[in-house]
Amino acid sequence: MPIMVIHKKNIRGVLLTVYFVLLVSIWGCAGLQKKAMVLAVVDGEPVSEDDLEYSLQIAHRREDLSSAGMLNISEYVQKLIDDRLIVQEARRMGMDQQPETLKAGNAFLLRESVTRLHEEEILQKASVDEHEIVSNYKKDYEQFITGIIELTTREKAVKILEQLKSENNFNELAREYSTHASGKEGGEVVFTPLSMSPSIRELVYNLKPGEMSDITEADGKYYIVKLIQRQEAPIEELEGVRERIRKAIRSRKEKERSEEYLKTLRKEGDITINHELLSSIKLDSGLSEREKWGGDKRLLVEGHGLTLTAEDFVSMMPPVVSKPNEDLLNTWIDRKLVDREALNRNYEATPDMKEKVQRYKNQLLRRTFIKRVILPGIQLSADIMEDYYLKHQEDYLKTVRFRIQRITVKTEEEAGDVLNNLKNGADFTWMAKKRSIDSEAPKGGVLGWKTKGQMSEPLQEIIATLEPGDISPILNVDSLYRIIRLQEKTAEEIEAFDKVKASVYRAVYSEEFNKIYNKYIDKLREEAHIEVNDRAVRAFEKKFKN
């Protein structure tokens, strides 16, 4: 198996080569084929296929790697090696033991553990089966064919109800008096339980087919409702709403399961709240009220290692609160109980979580190294920026704009006739007004100023060959035929420094960053022992090129 040695300059080389040979035996071991391939080893640390896939996903913001076949995988492996060198250097400098780094790592572990706990205790226990979907569909999509009369005053409603009872002419009265949108159709409306307002639903559920309700008030209107017919939900329409029903049931189940689980944690935690003390805290009484709680160490909450003082509770509240103290405190307790349970599950001991946390810590160390070591070395002055601007003026050219006229006709023969007339001295503006069929014809075919990028492809190709006053040959564009005249074009000018200063700053900053970063990488590579498994890299490439 070909192994490419990049650097081997220090005393660790012999030992690391032995280590690498062991890794090679693992690559070929049939019993461990499911393990991710090791693509390289950097001072004893493997760079795996999983590391590369993760890097590609981050770089391309994709859930799949379908475009990996178009990439230079070897270059990505080298970038991963550079990243690993930076991470190792950050560790040697003790950055992994700095308080902010440890805090960020712990926070990441907590977030991931809570996510895993939520998956196990909520999502996996809130599944939805076919019976539930069908049952909910039948209940929520049952059809109620009703008659509705909507009136603006109770007096009118009483009068209409009396007429209905004596004359039984619901449709006629609905057409004459109802202010509901269904009035012109005789008041007939088909409802499902989901489409009915709560007040109407309550009325309809208590009616039998043919029965009519008393007067009910809702939102300042008065209603009389008649149930005409009640029909089962049409089973053939289930597929159209199946996913919506499934999501609704799952959402409800997740909410119920969350509430149930929090109650269990509360019970197990044996939490005690000092309600008298809590009620005496007035968070909405201004700064002076908050200040008086400073130093108050009395416990608001305690139970199985979970404690919160009055001082801490007040200090963590935002300047403006919109919820009662009880709700705020309960939210804090629930979050702490969930956090504690998630960490107690010891998810970090599982291989996948361990790998995820380590990968995050490596990213954190790389960012910290860049912030502490690379960025302070970037020194930008006005002279440096102006010098860069002068050396790269081709990057700051104003976009050339073209002022054009056009004539559009339907056939090539007609276009040929127009072009011959123009060549014989006919005025382009006059010809555009007389012969062109596009919307610019009344203006003499004037399109105004356009950049090359704003033009159609055939025009982009021809416009660069024209000088002001020139007329193009016939162009076929979208089954129409066009002739273009270039009226004017702007000169190729360089943008003033002050107008592109921000762009220059970004370019110089990037250039200086890369210069310092690459200098560090070169130094670290000289001192490191790096070996690449070319065969594994090619195998990875092959997966996405087949």
Contact 296, 280 (CB under 8 A): no
The answer as to whether 171 is a domain residue is: yes
Residues 45 and 80 in one domain: yes
DSSP collapsed to 3 states, 217-232: EECCEEEEEEEEEEEC
| pTM check: above 0.85 | no
In a domain, 437, yes or no: yes
CB 376, CB 102: distance < 8 Å: no
Domain encompassing residue 287: 271-344
User: Whose CA is closest to 483, among 424, 431, 406, 428?
Assistant: 406
Whether residue 181 sits in one domain with residue 147: yes
Looking at residue 168, what is its pLDDT? 82
Do 531 and 483 lie in one domain? The reply is no
Q: Is residue 251 assigned to a domain?
A: no
Sheet holding 475-477, edge to edge: 446-451, 401-409, 480-489, 475-477
Does residue 211 contact residue 203 with C-beta atoms inside 8 Å? no
Q: What is the domain count for the chain?
A: 4
Q: Do residues 289 and 202 share a domain?
A: no
Domain boundary residue, one of 344, 370, 389:
344
454 and 520 belong to one structural domain: no
101 within some domain: no
pLDDT at 10: 42
Q: What are phi and psi of 346, to 5 degrees?
A: 55, 45
Q: What is the pLDDT of residue 545?
A: 65
Flag whether 365 is in a domain.
Answer: no
* C-alpha–C-alpha distance, residues 24 and 156, integer Å: 91
- The confidence score (pLDDT) of residue 2 equals 41
In this structure, the answer to whether residues 340 and 413 fall within a common structural domain is: no
Please say whether the beta carbons of 179 and 119 come within 8 A: no
Contact assessment for residue 531 and residue 3, using Cβ atoms and an 8 Å cutoff: yes
Domain contains 153 = yes
The DSSP call for residue 118 is H
In this predicted structure, what is the pLDDT of residue 214? 92
> Cα separation of 440 and 451, whole Å?
18
Q: Which amino acid is at 525?
A: R
Is 478 within the bounds of a domain?
A: yes
Mean pLDDT by 10 residues, the chain (546 residues): 43 37 37 67 92 81 51 88 96 95 95 96 94 94 93 93 89 93 91 87 89 90 93 92 95 95 89 93 85 92 89 91 92 94 95 93 95 93 92 87 92 92 92 91 90 84 88 89 91 87 94 95 95 91 72
Q: Give the burial string for 408-430 (b: 16+ CB within 10 Å, else e).
A: bbeeeeebeebbebbeeeeebbe
Please indicate, yes or no, whether residues 481 and 532 belong to a single structural domain of this protein. no
The two three-digit tokens of residue 30, written as one number: 């049939």
CATH of the domain at 448: 3.10.50.40
The candidate with the shortest Cα–Cα distance to 284, out of 322, 315, 310, 312, is 322
Best CA proximity match to 461, nearest among 446, 447, 449, 476 = 476
481 shares its domain with 526: no
- In this structure, is residue 376 part of a structural domain? no
Instruction: Clarify whether residues 86 and 148 are in a common domain.
Output: no
Final residue of a structural domain among 231, 263, 294: 231
Domain finish residue from 200, 231, 262: 231
User: pLDDT value at position 283?
Assistant: 86
Q: What is the pLDDT of residue 503?
A: 93
Strand, helix or coil at 179? coil
**Residue 83 is which amino acid?**
D
The CA distances from residue 412 to 419, 439, 473, in Å, are: 10, 19, 11
CB atoms under 10 Å from CB of 149, counted, come to: 30
